[in-house]
Amino acid sequence: MSQLGSRFHYWFLNLKRLFHLVITLAFMVLTLVCASQTYVAWQDYRKAPDAGLLYWQFPLYGAVTLLVAILGLYSFVKARNVR
């Protein structure tokens, strides 16, 4: 019975690690999407600088990109620390 509990614990830990890694992958994909939108906003500004950069668009996209990247890295660290 002890071996069964030990194996269950081993598989459960691996499942938790896999879950955290999948979440990390999702956050990194979202980071790429947000970074792409930030780049598009910057390119729109460079094409027509007199129109001005929307005062909320570029900082908002940048902040969301940074937040999602931090959450992705945090999830990766959590996956490595599962014991």
pLDDT in tens, 53-62: 566 777 888 8
How many folded domains does the chain comprise? 1
Residue 43: both structure tokens together: 């390119």
Closest CA to 37 of 70, 67, 69, 59: 59
Q: What is the pLDDT of residue 77?
A: 87
Closest CA to 65 of 44, 41, 47, 45: 41
Domain that includes residue 47, residue range: 2-80
The residues, any chain, with a CB within 8 Å of residue 33's CB and separated by 6 or more, are: none
Tell me which of 2 and 37 has the higher pLDDT. Answer: 37
Confidence check: pLDDT of 1 > 70: no
Using 50, 70 and 90 to split pLDDT, how confident is the model at 26? Answer: very high
Q: What is the pLDDT of residue 33?
A: 93
The Cα-based distances of 69 to 26, 39, 79, 83 in angstroms read 10, 16, 15, 24
Q: What is the pLDDT of residue 68?
A: 93
Q: Mean pLDDT over residues 40-56, rounded?
A: 73
Secondary structure letter of residue 52 according to DSSP: -
